[in-house]
Amino acid sequence: MTLRPLVLASLLALGAGSAWAEDMKMAVTTSFANSGLAEVLLPEIEKDTGITVQLLVVGTGQALALGAAGDVDAVLVHSRAAEEKWLAEGNGTHRREIMYNDFVIVGPAADPAGTKAKANALDAFAAIAEAQAPFVSRGDDSGTHKMELALWKDAGVDPAGEWYRAVGQGMGAALNTAAGMNAYILADRASWLNFGNKADLAIDFEGDPVLFNQYAYLPVNPEKHPHVKADLVEKLEDWLVSDTAKGLIEGYKIADQQLFVFNAQPK
Amino acid sequence: MNDIWQGLAQALRLVLGLDADLIEISGLSLQVSLGATLIASVIGLPLGAWLAINRFRARRVVIAVLNALMGLPPVVVGLFVYVLLSRSGPFGVLGLLFTPTAMVIAQVIIITPIIASIAHQAIRDLWADYHDLLISLNTSRAQRIRTLLWDGRRALMTASLAGFGRAIGEVGAIMIVGGNIDHVTRVLTTAIALETGKGEFGLALALGFVLISLAVLVNLAVHFLSRTERSGRW
Amino acid sequence: MVGSILPLALEDITLRRAGKVILGPLSWVLDGAGITVVMGPNGSGKTSFLRAMHGLERVNAGRIAWAAPLEAVRARQAFVFQTPILMRRSVVDCIAYPLRLDGVARKTARARAAEAAAKVGLGAMLEQPAQVLSGGEKQKLALARALVRGPELLFLDEPCANLDGRATREIEAILRDAREGGTRIVMSTHDHGQARRLADDILFLYNGRLVETGPKAVLLETPTTPEMTAFINGELLP
């Protein structure tokens, strides 16, 4: 068994993590990670603060659950109602708004439900339901999913039936499904622009302020979980609301489109 | 079809260009899966042999449970290990969640039943072959187990390789307990899931080809090493 | 040196399988020298009889008494099966295996095994895998392995049942050698010719019972029971 020394060596290597670096873990939504903004911000954060931010890319529901369990030090998500409930349960210290992007209604380029002509997002959603046009829902309790459900509710539609497909997966997988079925889907603009498999899909409706998507930074409560790295979390928050961050966030463009609007308020 | 060619071409570019990220995640894939295979073999092979030779009352139940565990969805294992290792769980203080160690633990749970079960079958068949001879030669129990493990070593290696194959291709459990953190717990399978999610099918396929090549290479290496042993082919 | 493990006394031994008696009740004393051939039609209990004496089958009733402690008895007898059980090893390692069990050093064990292999005509194929040998070679290998510890008592269960004339002749020569060397042999066969060629004594089993026993000359020429008479004459027994 000549393999043994090799395997033992690798086992030993497993034990030794990067203990010397200042690591913290942050759970973020898939839409944030898929936007590509993280890849711009993380190296700058490391350069300015010395903090290596380890991202756990999950849905908003799971991100908040990881925070509640103390498995991450902070959470960056976009679902206000869920965030406030999470704070009320004592899981975090506070909620700091950082930036927003917006959702768009992506659908077949031919727009069979006629959403392009609608005045607002609710009418566009109602038109999709009216036409029974195929619609892919995230169905995963993510921020995007919650936004979508709120829109159906406000549009007075109970989304159910053959045309409504809840896939229970992340933004990318849901977009893949929509591309495969040539269906409508609610997506954040960043994920959509970064998505590599657009097929016949295009943005059919955009621009209604209802579709704005506020990202907030939530530190995990150190009183509940004493092991969280509260000092690093605070340092990161200071950086995220700084002018440096503002410049990077607003300067981030895909296909010449600005994705995020910085709106953090000074304390 | 076009995606597949693109994927192959991209895989070649990544491998030939010795892409640093690729080497890092491939290395971690190997580390985690080989580590898990080693630990699972140390547990599973003797367990399988022991079940094959010993007759005890709960034996059938143990074997049935083992076989059932082979079909355990990795996601369930991942969730189970997550709950145990979470800061809110019983082993939270160890701070193992989202580390390669957590991934090894999850994979050990997934592949130990496979290795034990295949080892059990192999040793059981060999024991049926050898039974009368070993009794006739007046062997002690320890001598019997040693003989069966040695003469069955090729089948046992197959058992370990089957476990390795399952481990290196596994994504559900290590995604949950590892978290797919870049430069920390990202391995080939979770990277593939990530790129697929981004709709980057070409890159995802490229990583898939690297994964397959890696698995084939490990198998070939093991067979090559075992062939150079003295006692030839069986 | 412990004294002989013989005589072996069987007292009313009975073997049942699934509630059915397949052997016995049977009493017999194994002693002296030479080759005892156990004869009888299929299903008469020959195999069970040999296995019970060797300790491979537990008797359901009766007593098996050896002249020596059980540990010595186990170490000083060997068994050759009708279908040879070969290990997944080379010829020389197969023969060396019993010596290795006794704690003989690997090199010594292999040297002695090579000698034993040469004696049975396998000297040219020491490093070949045992499982690729021909039927006759496999049985000779099994015989060499059985003899390598120099057993006092050797059981063989139809050792030539599946072999051609040449292989049978070679095996019989090895057995005669072993007898000359002082090994007490008990073997079963349903081949009358083999019994005539090898046996000193014959023991005839029918339906699990010991019907007749005695020296070869007497038993084969003047059987006293109708079953033995019919069997000798080549009639089909019910």
Q: Judge whether residue B54 has pLDDT over 90.
A: no
- Predicted confidence at residue A12, as pLDDT, reads 44
C49 in helix, strand or coil? helix
Give the structural domain span for A61. Answer: 22-100+214-262
- Predicted confidence at residue A21, as pLDDT, reads 59
A225 in helix, strand or coil? coil
Q: Enter the pTM of the model.
A: 0.77
Q: How confident is the model at residue A15 (pLDDT cuts 50, 70, 90)?
A: very low
Do A and C touch (≥3 CB pairs < 8 Å)? no
Token code pair at residue C126: 């020491």
Contact B147 C87 (CB under 8 A): yes
**CATH code at position B195:** 1.10.3720.10
Domain count, chain A: 2
Instruction: Choose the closest CB to C129 out of B126, B137, B234.
Output: B234
Q: Residue C103: what are its φ and ψ, rounded to 5°? A: 90, 15
Instruction: Choose the closest CB to C87 out of B130, B136, B233.
Output: B130
- Predicted confidence at residue B1, as pLDDT, reads 65
CA separation for the pair C172, C117 (Å, rounded): 16
One-letter identity of residue B169: G
Q: Judge whether residue B2 has pLDDT over 80.
A: no
State pLDDT tens for residues A110-122: 999 999 999 999 9
- Predicted confidence at residue A3, as pLDDT, reads 43
State pLDDT tens for residues B180-232: 888 889 999 999 988 887 778 888 888 999 999 999 999 998 888 876 554 44
Place of tokens 């190296």: A43
- Predicted confidence at residue B233, as pLDDT, reads 45
A218 in helix, strand or coil? strand
Q: How confident is the model at residue B43 (pLDDT cuts 50, 70, 90)?
A: very high
Average pLDDT, chain A: 87
- Predicted confidence at residue C153, as pLDDT, reads 94
- Predicted confidence at residue A142, as pLDDT, reads 81
Nearest-CA residue of chain B relative to C131?
B234
Give the structural domain span for B217. Answer: 2-6+21-221
State pLDDT tens for residues B102-147: 999 999 999 999 999 999 999 999 999 999 999 999 898 889 888 9
Contact A71 B198 (CB under 8 A): no
Query: Strands (DSSP E) along C8-97, which ranges?
Result: 8-17, 20-30, 35-39, 61-65, 77-80
Inside any domain, residue B88: yes
> Which residues in chain C are closer than 8 Å to B227, comparing Cβ atoms?
none
Inside any domain, residue A8: no
In terms of domains, do A150 and A203 share one?
yes
| Dihedral angle computed from the Cα positions of residues A96, A67, A23 and B108, in that order, rounded to the nearest 10 degrees | -160
Contact B233 C93 (CB under 8 A): no
**CATH code at position A192:** 3.40.190.10
Q: Judge whether residue B178 has pLDDT over 70.
A: yes
In terms of domains, do A172 and A231 share one?
no
C65 and chain B in contact, CB less than 8 A: no
Place of tokens 């506020």: A214
Q: Judge whether residue A236 has pLDDT over 90.
A: yes
- Predicted confidence at residue C78, as pLDDT, reads 94
B191 and chain A in contact, CB less than 8 A: no
- Predicted confidence at residue A14, as pLDDT, reads 45
Token code pair at residue C10: 């069987």
- Predicted confidence at residue C2, as pLDDT, reads 55
- Count CB atoms within 10 A of the CB of residue C105: 10
Yes or no: say if A169 and A138 are a contact pair by the CB < 8 Å rule. yes
Do B and A touch (≥3 CB pairs < 8 Å)? yes
Nearest-CA residue of chain C relative to B130?
C85
- Predicted confidence at residue A199, as pLDDT, reads 86
Contact B95 A227 (CB under 8 A): yes
Inside any domain, residue B129: yes
- Chains touching chain B at 3 or more Cβ pairs under 8 angstroms? A, C
Q: Judge whether residue A157 has pLDDT over 70.
A: yes
Inside any domain, residue B13: no
Yes or no: say if C84 and C139 are a contact pair by the CB < 8 Å rule. yes
Burial class (CB in 10 A: 0-12, 13-18, 19+), A226: exposed
Q: How many CA atoms lie within 13 A of A120 on its CB side?
A: 9
Q: Looking at residues A120-143, what average pLDDT do you find?
A: 91
B139 and chain A in contact, CB less than 8 A: no
Instruction: Output the CA torsion sign for B199, B203, B209, B213.
Output: negative
> How many Cβ contacts (< 8 angstroms) between chains B and C?
41
Q: Among residues of chain B, what percentage have pLDDT more than 90?
A: 50
In terms of domains, do A123 and A191 share one?
yes
Nearest-CA residue of chain B relative to C132?
B234
How much is the ipTM here? Answer: 0.90
> Which residues in chain B are closer than 8 Å to A30, comparing Cβ atoms?
197
C75 and chain B in contact, CB less than 8 A: yes
Place of tokens 């989202």: B98
Inside any domain, residue A44: yes
In terms of domains, do A90 and A123 share one?
no
In terms of domains, do A118 and A219 share one?
no
- Predicted confidence at residue B6, as pLDDT, reads 80
A265 and chain B in contact, CB less than 8 A: no
Inside any domain, residue A199: yes
B143 and chain C in contact, CB less than 8 A: yes
B98 and chain A in contact, CB less than 8 A: yes
In terms of domains, do A90 and A220 share one?
yes
> Which residues in chain A are closer than 8 Å to B104, comparing Cβ atoms?
14
What lies within 8 Å, CB to CB, of C189 at 6+ separation is C37, C38, C39, C158, C160, C161, C195
CA separation for the pair A54, A49 (Å, rounded): 14
Query: Strands (DSSP E) along chain B, which ranges?
Result: none
Q: How confident is the model at residue B19 (pLDDT cuts 50, 70, 90)?
A: confident
Longest dimension (CA), chain C: 56
| Structural domains in chain C, sorted by start | 8-86+133-232 (3.40.50.300)
Q: Judge whether residue B36 has pLDDT over 90.
A: yes
Q: Looking at residues A39-62, what average pLDDT do you find?
A: 91
State pLDDT tens for residues A193-212: 888 888 899 999 998 989 99
Q: Judge whether residue A8 has pLDDT over 50.
A: no
B130 and chain C in contact, CB less than 8 A: yes
Inside any domain, residue A150: yes
Domain count, chain B: 1
- Predicted confidence at residue A130, as pLDDT, reads 93
Average pLDDT, chain B: 88
Q: Which residues of chain C have pLDDT under 70?
A: 1-2, 237-238
